[in-house]
Structure 1
Amino acid sequence: MVGTEQLRRPAVFLLRTLAVTACYYGAGRLGLLRHLVVEGAVFSPIWPPTGVAVAALLVFGLSCWPGIALGAFLVILSITTSLTPAVIGTLAGSTLAPLCAYLLLNRVGFRTELSRLRDGLALVFLGALAAMTISATTGVGIPVLTGRLAAGDFWPVWLAWWVGDAMGVLIVTPVLLLLYNARWHPHPARWRWKEATALVIAVAALVPLATYSSVSLLFLVYPLLIWGALRFQLAGTMLCALLASVLATLAATDGTGPFAGLSRIEVMAKLQAFNGAMALTALLLSAVITEQRNTRRSVERACQELVEVLEHLTAGEPPPPRPAEETYDADQGDGRGPHPGRAGPDAPLLDADDGPDHGAHRPRETR
């Protein structure tokens, strides 16, 4: 039995490493399909591998870092075969930045359900904006030191690199965490399907119009984000944000729609401002709404139990026993939630009114 367990652990580690490597490499190839040029340097407006790497670390723990490093190495090999100092610096930064994001998020007690405002703020300011300075600094600083990039071009290229990596975390990581925590409800209410269908139709019609129209209509995306957050929380708003970001990136790299006739710097500034504002709105608004609904549900259940206790006391009966594991916490929700770490039967994808019950939050795995 011991021998079987000893063989199983390396096999699981190997499979996990290969899976993370494959996902990172696939995301990298997708990110390389579209690019912009700033001061002669080519960069991706959204770099999905950073989001994949941070999500993998949050789900599997530090043990998956070799998969991130190997995936980054394979992506670099698909671009160049020469191992220059700049390439080594890019590889180191691509590995260290997600690790730093994970350690910072772990330090503040981040939860993968993103059901609290503090989790949304932590992912934005620690996981994306702070940690991704490492990859941008190493990726741009070493070419400047070796003379491959002019010193005067450092800040424009650094900003483009940093924003691209940060956008990967802000858009891709929440979607992957949403899929990880999702749980299908077999019998959703009929009206939820109708509203979800209406939202999908509205997104499919308005988002392409906003991102490809020659008239500046990008503001049309924000009502859809608000609708998705209010009725479907993280699922509704982040999926809408992902589609809008992808279409806006396609329009920007093609120089069409609201990005037509702009210089390269103007295209980068307009695209990154739109993507950043949209991702922040989607992530933080859904976190606030989910936290408020969990708090309301906890208070309602506490009041219901108090009424039951008073009824028993009035009738001269002892109060009903309360299971030791049931606790009420306005910050964590109630203790009678579904399977730890998973969305409940009323998951936000299908429950547009009640939202998920993230009562028994599962601590993040660090194995």
Structure 2
Amino acid sequence: MRPLPPAARWCLIVLGVTVCYFATARIGIQWAIVREQISPLWPAAGVALATPMLLGPRFWPGIFLGALLTNIALGPSLGTVLVISAGNTAGPMVAYAVMRRLGFRNELDRLPDAVLLVVVGAIGGTAVSAVMGTGVLVFGGALSPGDFWATALVWWTGDAMGVLTITPLLLLAPRFHMPKRVPLIRWGEAAALALFGLGTAVLASTTTPKLFVVFPVLIWAALRFRQAGALLCSLCVCTVTIFAAIRGLGPYGSYELATRMLHVQAYDATVGLTALTLSTIVLQRDRATAEITDAWRQITEMVDMIAPRQSLRSAITQHNEDEAQAACASRKWSR
């Protein structure tokens, strides 16, 4: 089969990004609490940041088109929708550029990578989209100036949570390989982790003193199931927390919208950073152990190769010494 021309391949990838962004945006809209458009959990933001990281920055039109298709039906006007879509594109592209400049790697196998993803990707880049989008809504008359900060906080929280929960999973996906043989006890442990993860996430959303019960489960997931387990647990906790905040349940029910979103942002950012940090440290430990094991194997092979040669050299040296002694003894007898 003849390979596709570069232009056709570019168009297909852009179309795929557009579809992925639109599909995840439709999921996020189901939780919208401001104008049926602004959600405290926006998975499309995670897709938007992962796109340049995995595919390259030249596929940014897919992000823009996906945002345009999502927002065009929500209004309020074409100009406003274009600015919002531009902000949805500019935020992740700016975060991508800064993270690459600072040496970010998609493998997420170093502690600085996890910190960059949280600080620059989830907190910094998403602020660009939130400010641009909320600002144009206020400028266009769709929102009152007094609602700017509350709306911007919801927007910012939703995009940040999308980056924290979705982007790491997408970065991990190309390197994930399902083990061929998994013991039955391992499946049982995974099921128990999923049950405890969901249970503690729900329990943490009931009262403030129970917020911290999720962290032992995150430690368990990171130690036993590495990045995949820790990130999935983080996604579960963040989703349940945001659902509780939307409904005004548990520790979030007594606050105004802006304060509620700040609390959710701080808590979910802590959960996401903990999951990323722990799983990255465990990955670094595994890599160091593998390197030490490999170095020990190489040293053992070198010793095994040197030992026979050393024995042969000793035998030759001993033989030469014996011959020299025999020759010396022969000369003495001849005298």
Into which bin does the TM-score normalised by the smaller protein fall? 0.7 to 0.9
Match of 1:92 in 2: 86
Secondary structure at the counterpart of residue 78 of structure 2: coil
Distance 1:201 1:167, change over 3 A: closer
Q: Distance in 1 between matches of 2:218 and 2:152?
A: 30
Q: Is the 8 A contact 1:101 1:127 kept in 2?
A: yes
Q: Is the 8 A contact 1:214 1:260 kept in 2?
A: no
- TM-score, length-scaled by structure 2: 0.83
Q: Distance in 2 between matches of 1:220 and 1:70?
A: 41
Q: Is the 8 A contact 1:34 1:44 kept in 2?
A: yes
Q: 2:283 aligns with which of 284, 287, 290?
A: 290
The residue type equivalent to 2:160 in the other structure is: A
Q: Distance in 2 between matches of 1:20 and 1:248?
A: 28
1:32 lines up with 2:32 in the alignment: no
Q: Deviations over 1:22-80 (max 9, x none)?
A: 1101111111111345xx99732122111011112211112321111100001111211
The residue type equivalent to 2:283 in the other structure is: T
Match of 1:64 in 2: 59
Match of 2:128 in 1: 134
Q: 2:70 aligns with which of 75, 86, 93?
A: 75
Secondary structure at the counterpart of residue 8 of structure 2: helix
Match of 1:18 in 2: 15
How far residue 144 of structure 1 moved from its aligned partner, in angstroms, is 4.8
Q: Distance in 2 between matches of 1:218 and 1:258?
A: 9
Q: Distance in 2 between matches of 1:249 and 1:163?
A: 9
Match of 2:210 in 1: 217
How far residue 292 of structure 1 moved from its aligned partner, in angstroms, is 2.1
Q: Is the 8 A contact 1:24 1:52 kept in 2?
A: yes
Unmatched 5+ stretches in structure 2: 311-335
Match of 1:308 in 2: 301
Deviates more, 1:67-76 or 1:106-115: 106-115
The residue type equivalent to 2:44 in the other structure is: P
How far residue 316 of structure 1 moved from its aligned partner, in angstroms, is 1.6
Q: Is the 8 A contact 1:237 1:286 kept in 2?
A: yes
Total equivalences in the alignment = 310
Give the share of equivalent positions with the same residue, in percent.
Answer: 38
The residue type equivalent to 1:12 in the other structure is: R
Distance 1:215 1:153, change over 3 A: closer
Q: Deviations over 1:210-232 (max 9, x none)?
A: 33x35752222111111101111
Match of 2:322 in 1: none
Match of 2:328 in 1: none
Q: 1:170 aligns with which of 152, 155, 164?
A: 164
Q: Which has the larger radius of gyration?
A: 2
Looking at secondary structure, tell me which structure has more helix per residue.
Answer: 2
Q: 2:109 aligns with which of 101, 112, 115?
A: 115
How far residue 166 of structure 1 moved from its aligned partner, in angstroms, is 2.0
The residue type equivalent to 1:270 in the other structure is: H
Match of 1:323 in 2: none
Match of 2:259 in 1: 266
Q: Is the 8 A contact 1:36 1:264 kept in 2?
A: no
1:208 lines up with 2:205 in the alignment: no
How far residue 165 of structure 1 moved from its aligned partner, in angstroms, is 1.6
How far residue 281 of structure 1 moved from its aligned partner, in angstroms, is 1.0
Q: Distance in 2 between matches of 1:193 and 1:203?
A: 15
Deviates more, 1:300-309 or 1:186-195: 186-195
Q: Distance in 2 between matches of 1:35 and 1:59?
A: 28
Match of 1:44 in 2: 39
Q: Deviations over 1:147-190 (max 9, x none)?
A: 66555654444343333222211111012222232111111244
Q: Distance in 2 between matches of 1:314 and 1:230?
A: 40
Match of 1:250 in 2: 243
Alignment of 1:340-351 (within 5 A): none
Q: Distance in 1 between matches of 2:102 and 2:307?
A: 45
Q: Distance in 1 between matches of 2:254 and 2:143?
A: 27
Q: Distance in 1 between matches of 2:75 and 2:147?
A: 22
How far residue 113 of structure 1 moved from its aligned partner, in angstroms, is 2.3
Q: Is the 8 A contact 1:90 1:138 kept in 2?
A: yes
Unmatched 5+ stretches in structure 1: 318-367
Q: Is the 8 A contact 1:36 1:268 kept in 2?
A: no
Q: Distance in 1 between matches of 2:89 and 2:56?
A: 14
Match of 1:360 in 2: none
How far residue 203 of structure 1 moved from its aligned partner, in angstroms, is 1.8
Secondary structure at the counterpart of residue 309 of structure 2: coil
How far residue 106 of structure 1 moved from its aligned partner, in angstroms, is 2.6
